[in-house]
Structure 1
Amino acid sequence: MRRLPTLAAAALAALLCAQPLAPLADAAEQTGFTVRREAIPGAGGVTLDAKVVEPAGPAREPRPLLVMPASWAVPNIEYLGAASGLVHDSGYVVVTYTARGFYASEGEVEVAGPEDVADASRVIDWAVSHTSAGAENVGMAGISYGAGISVLTAAEDPRVDAVAAMSGWADLAASLYPNDTVSAGAAELLLGIGHVTGRFGEDLRELERAYREHRTEDALHLAPERSPANRVEELNENGTAVLLANAWQDSFFPPKQITDLFGALNGPKRLMLAPGDHATPEAFGAAGLPNRIWERATEWFDRHLRGVRNDLSDSAVELEPLNGSGWREYPSWEAVTTETGRFRLTEPVSDGWPRPETGELVEGPASDWQHRIDVGDPTLARSGTVMLSGLLQGFARVPVGVSVPLVDRDDAAVWSSEPLPSGGTVSGTPRLRLSVTPTGREVSLFAHLYEVGPLGKGSLITHKPITVRNNEPGVPSEVDLALQPVVWNVSAGNRLVLVVDTVDARYREEGRGSVAFGSSSTAPAELRIPFG
């Protein structure tokens, strides 16, 4: 079983790297651009393996430059399809390079640390000196690891005028350690694929040791300088035009931290969220195939690097519903939600067989109650399998399902709304508030929000973990939990159902014994649902 993460990582690496080079070379000869391999000096004497895609012939004036760091564990061929289109159609010079520590690039993997940011600036220096690009119109683009490095570099290097960051992160700790809960499935896959394709630096080795020894908190000091959320002031001062694109079900970098980063930016900005998992909404675009996100990225660079007056506004949000099709555009993230329903959680009770203990989600007054469940036993409620569930939702619209009547009420608390006669659209960030009293000092909780039909079959809308740590046993604490943001169309006559349990396979859970949930007239348990 221990080999599975490594085998899965190797398969994923092979999939991500499978880009045809011979057809691209032929196309280059026919369409007037060149593709060449270069060894570019990075920071500290490290050499970076790069591909340069450049229009053929002399330039009358310096051309705009795009620098694209490759994704985690992926070589620089990743973006050659997209790069050829950008060069051929718009005259960019594109330099795409393999991040230090991976494949033919020297050095060790530094997890988007200062060395990686310095490397990106050195690539800009080299391109200005060795290609037809100038330093006046510089952009950066990337997927995943390349996205994070691009935004961090834009904060550090004011020459970067525009960024398109796809499937990246804003807050590294919030991504992989959400609400003090280890995202073990994501960590295993990232570490596994990293070992297959790269050479770990000391910081990454320290992080892995801490993770393996169940002391993740000891490695959190590495996160702040690697988190774009902590560089917002510099991005705003530089006036960087930032396009952010992510998947609703990203297994590595869920969207809540991205919507928070988007809200903090005050320069030109665009947010795009689509069905799928990590790097899947934009993957085909990187290969040069038609893709909404890469089309927007091209328009973004044309507007902010080439001065093309296209239809893009300086601030906008584009969303494709998780269970639907068709993009919707909004002027801001706040405009995604038009009203918020406040549902009180009532005490879960049973009406007798065959109806198990279930509370209500109602809009009435609060009541005093407590309800206890066991800790440490899995239930049918789950967030799905890392990468696989998001892929199925994104490409086949197959949701993570559950049979609500079969969820064990000894190990989970369940609340249900009345049927929504006209349906509706959950649009924004749901929030859960309730009192939690564990018998131990720590307890992990997993909140799952479902759309449920008349027969009790549910489809996962969104979820979020939280681990209450260092709590005094038997002493209640208030939990205010923001679930992952979503746009989800609820069918007429279906219900909203909230399930809270203590085990989810993609996370590392803490705690044993039992935990009581509670509500009072002064601190009512409630679920706030955004509608749009």
Structure 2
Amino acid sequence: MRTLVVSTLALLLAAVGIAVAPQAHASDAFTVTTLHFDAAHDSGPRCDVVGDLYVPQGVSPSNLAPAALTTNGFGGSKDSQAPLARMYASRGYVVLAYSGLGFGGSSCRITFDSPIPDGAAASRLVSYLGGATGIAFRDAAHTKPAPRLDAVVHDGVDHSGTRRSDDPRVGMIGGSYGGHIQFAAASVDPRIDAIVPMVTWNDLSYSLSPNNTGQSVGVSTPTQGAVKINWSASLAAAGLMSGVQHASVEPQRLTGCPDFPAAVCSALVGSATSGTVDRSVLDGFRRGSVASFLDRVTIPTLLVQGQKDTLFNIQEALATYRGLSAKGVPTAMIWFSGGHSGTPATGDYSSTTPNPDTQYVTQRAVGWLDHYLKGSGPGTGPRFAYYRDWIDYRGIATPAYATAGSVDVGSRVQYALSGATGLVPLATPPRPGTARLRTPPAGLPTTHDVPDALGLISLPERDVAGTYAQWDTAPLRSALDVVGTPTLRLRVSAPLDVGAPLADQLVLFARIVDVGADGSSTTVGNLVAPVRISDPRVPMTITIPAFVHRFDPGHRLRLVVSGGSTNYRGGMRPIPVSIDAGPDQILRLPIA
């Protein structure tokens, strides 16, 4: 078990390009001081937060600099952020890299980047950067006060128009868990001036139990979907490992549900047996997610989301982007080559050796903060940029990126289900036919595909006979570039009692597959769209997570609807399903 936990944690860190760096140290360009911060707040326990302060040489009360605040991804620590902190410090920023609550020597349990207490803790660090006293100490017991910081330039007023004496010019940057904290902090502290959240979530209830139909706002749905069993287990293991590693900081965190609120562990155990998550836990995840407090985020935001990401897919960033843009918040978005499910391409991004001169995403992030915090640089860049893995380049990845003024690029092309196995352009009359499948018992997997998070060797992609239906296009005469969110309009037939308990409802999984000329097949991005169906009489629209992919000439595009998935827990009882062809059964693809 320990081997699995360690390897899982290593994979989680590597997936977003994070490595645990050695203890930060002084250099000719900056000094580094480790401090402890009193992260007390009104509605919870007192937390000790440990962080490293990077101050560039030459910065002084007469030569002030802007500040950058950064914290770790899940399972990491302040040391994980050392390469990023060193890079920004060398560019003239005062940087505070800290371990988030429950990680890397900081106390309190993991509370999933909620505004309270996580955002409130970050706000205390902003106050310290603004010169407030009584917050920073040289020891964990908070008995040795650190000197007042007088190295950061101040703003006249914050983003609410309020004048404060402890208002620093400060931005935030970080990925995954260190990405969502930026929303939490910005929602409670208008002194923050710009953020760059990377590979993070919009609604954690969707991230861990997505339902890709019936979405009310963004990715949120009133009915939960299918549990991501591999990612849920991996995140639980990473949190447990962090608690064990830092038990000396707060031994009581290991009692009951190690390092988590007790309800979280109960929910994980329950989801493994029932395929559903306790409603109160999912509601808690949603309340603590930016989907629930997006109206309180009003500062310039550069969203960076990964095309190789089955944990926090592009739909999550799209939901946040659309919400911020609708309010008039300065917002831009990049879909880059990495993510939780794969490392970035050379010349695109690295958090272990960040370099804006040789990496597109690093360059854009630096440009964003330079623009809003220094008032310098070439500008904020295009509103939308996406990476194309079929473009050859050398050096920085800029040539591989296409840019646009809107996230809705290209046009919609429609295909209809034809016969039992065909997929034809809507202008071609579809043939009648019916595809049939049966879902497995106990939510068991019925596919051989790449397991999320666990890093196991996967078998060639294959579905168990009788548990899926598929429809193929004819071989493509020219390349087909899909950029964005496919949707599937579908009606199914199944002997299902309307209003059946969640565990007994029908769960299906839709995905897009690239079939090569040799017959080999690959699920695009390993992305799957689970849907939980309470009433099969009603047509549904399935949102398939967005991707960027070129289908080469001679390849076929395949739509698969299956009853099980390697990476999800499906419905608990076997249900026969039939799907009729027809002009109303439509797959819509965004073609660039």
TM score, norm. by length of structure 1 = 0.86
1:216 aligned partner, one-letter code: V
How far apart are 1:252 and its partner, in Å? 1.8
Q: Check conservation: 1:67, 1:94, Cα contact below 8 A.
A: yes
Is the alpha carbon distance of 1:324 and 1:505 closer, same or farther for their aligned partners in structure 2, counting shifts above 3 Å? farther
How far apart are 1:414 and its partner, in Å? 0.9
Match of 1:100 in 2: 101
Is the alpha carbon distance of 1:206 and 1:148 closer, same or farther for their aligned partners in structure 2, counting shifts above 3 Å? same
Please show how residues 309-320 of structure 1 align to structure 2 within 5 Å.
309-313=377-381, 316-320=383-387
Distance 1:208 1:110 in 2: 13
- Say yes or no: does 1:437 pair with 2:525: no
How far apart are 1:255 and its partner, in Å? 1.1
Is the alpha carbon distance of 1:208 and 1:251 closer, same or farther for their aligned partners in structure 2, counting shifts above 3 Å? farther
Higher helix share: 1
Please give the per-residue CA displacement for 1:169-189, whole angstroms capped at 9, x wherever unaligned.
111111111101111111111
Residue number among 111, 119, 122 corresponding to 2:124 in the alignment: 122
- Say yes or no: does 1:416 pair with 2:472: yes
Please show how residues 27-176 of structure 1 align to structure 2 within 5 Å.
28-31=26-29, 33-44=30-41, 45-57=46-58, 58-89=60-91, 91-113=92-114, 114-129=116-131, 130-131=148-149, 132-133=151-152, 134=154, 135-176=167-208
Q: Check conservation: 2:486, 2:588, Cα contact below 8 A.
A: yes
Match of 1:386 in 2: 452
**Secondary structure of the equivalent of 1:449?**
strand
Distance 1:141 1:59 in 2: 25
Match of 2:354 in 1: 288
Distance 1:128 1:85 in 2: 22
Distance 1:4 1:438 in 2: 43
Is the alpha carbon distance of 1:490 and 1:513 closer, same or farther for their aligned partners in structure 2, counting shifts above 3 Å? same
Aligned CA-pair RMSD: 2.7
Structure 1 residue runs without a partner (length 5+)? 349-357, 393-399
**Secondary structure of the equivalent of 1:468?**
strand
- Say yes or no: does 1:243 pair with 2:302: yes
TM score, norm. by length of structure 2 = 0.77
Q: Check conservation: 2:349, 2:362, Cα contact below 8 A.
A: no
**Secondary structure of the equivalent of 2:416?**
strand
Match of 1:396 in 2: none
Please give the per-residue CA displacement for 1:22-69, whole angstroms capped at 9, x wherever unaligned.
xx63xx4322x1111000111243110100001124242542111112
Q: Check conservation: 1:80, 1:288, Cα contact below 8 A.
A: no
- Say yes or no: does 1:222 pair with 2:288: no
- Say yes or no: does 1:510 pair with 2:571: yes
Q: Check conservation: 1:203, 1:222, Cα contact below 8 A.
A: no
**Secondary structure of the equivalent of 2:383?**
strand
Q: How many residue pairs end up in the alignment? A: 495
Please give the per-residue CA displacement for 1:126-167, whole angstroms capped at 9, x wherever unaligned.
122232123242111111111101122112211111001111
Q: Check conservation: 1:448, 1:460, Cα contact below 8 A.
A: yes
Please give the per-residue CA displacement for 1:439-486, whole angstroms capped at 9, x wherever unaligned.
454222121211212231122225333232544xxx534231111111
- Say yes or no: does 1:213 pair with 2:264: no
Please give the per-residue CA displacement for 1:251-304, whole angstroms capped at 9, x wherever unaligned.
321111111211221322121112333184387235435532222111100001
Is the alpha carbon distance of 1:385 and 1:321 closer, same or farther for their aligned partners in structure 2, counting shifts above 3 Å? farther
Is the alpha carbon distance of 1:170 and 1:480 closer, same or farther for their aligned partners in structure 2, counting shifts above 3 Å? same
1:329 aligned partner, one-letter code: T
Q: Check conservation: 1:138, 1:305, Cα contact below 8 A.
A: yes
Is the alpha carbon distance of 1:260 and 1:346 closer, same or farther for their aligned partners in structure 2, counting shifts above 3 Å? same
Match of 2:439 in 1: 375
1:207 aligned partner, one-letter code: V
Higher strand share: 1
Distance 2:310 2:262 in 1: 22
- Say yes or no: does 1:479 pair with 2:540: yes
How far apart are 1:244 and its partner, in Å? 0.9
How far apart are 1:233 and its partner, in Å? 1.8
**Secondary structure of the equivalent of 2:293?**
helix
Distance 2:374 2:37 in 1: 26
Q: Check conservation: 1:269, 1:316, Cα contact below 8 A.
A: yes
Distance 2:555 2:460 in 1: 14
**Secondary structure of the equivalent of 1:261?**
helix
Q: Check conservation: 1:73, 1:194, Cα contact below 8 A.
A: yes
Is the alpha carbon distance of 1:432 and 1:144 closer, same or farther for their aligned partners in structure 2, counting shifts above 3 Å? same
Distance 2:28 2:282 in 1: 51
Distance 2:231 2:571 in 1: 17
**Secondary structure of the equivalent of 2:108?**
coil
How far apart are 1:388 and its partner, in Å? 6.8
Distance 2:453 2:438 in 1: 29
Residue number among 169, 186, 189 corresponding to 2:231 in the alignment: 186
**Secondary structure of the equivalent of 2:384?**
strand
Is the alpha carbon distance of 1:209 and 1:388 closer, same or farther for their aligned partners in structure 2, counting shifts above 3 Å? closer
2:351 aligned partner, one-letter code: G
Distance 2:491 2:363 in 1: 46
How far apart are 1:378 and its partner, in Å? 4.7
Residue number among 192, 197, 209 corresponding to 2:242 in the alignment: 197
Residue number among 340, 343, 360 corresponding to 1:278 in the alignment: 340
Match of 1:305 in 2: 373
1:530 aligned partner, one-letter code: P
2:494 aligned partner, one-letter code: P
Residue number among 500, 510, 514 corresponding to 1:447 in the alignment: 510
Match of 1:528 in 2: 588
How far apart are 1:13 and its partner, in Å? 7.0
Match of 1:340 in 2: 412
**Secondary structure of the equivalent of 1:43?**
coil
**Secondary structure of the equivalent of 1:30?**
coil
How far apart are 1:14 and its partner, in Å? 7.8
Percent identical among aligned pairs is 23
Distance 1:7 1:85 in 2: 28
Q: Check conservation: 1:373, 1:516, Cα contact below 8 A.
A: yes
Is the alpha carbon distance of 1:322 and 1:448 closer, same or farther for their aligned partners in structure 2, counting shifts above 3 Å? farther
Is the alpha carbon distance of 1:322 and 1:519 closer, same or farther for their aligned partners in structure 2, counting shifts above 3 Å? farther
Greater CA drift, 457-466 or 157-166: 457-466
Q: Check conservation: 1:275, 1:323, Cα contact below 8 A.
A: no
Distance 1:466 1:293 in 2: 31
How far apart are 1:401 and its partner, in Å? 8.8
Q: Check conservation: 1:5, 1:188, Cα contact below 8 A.
A: no
Match of 2:402 in 1: 328
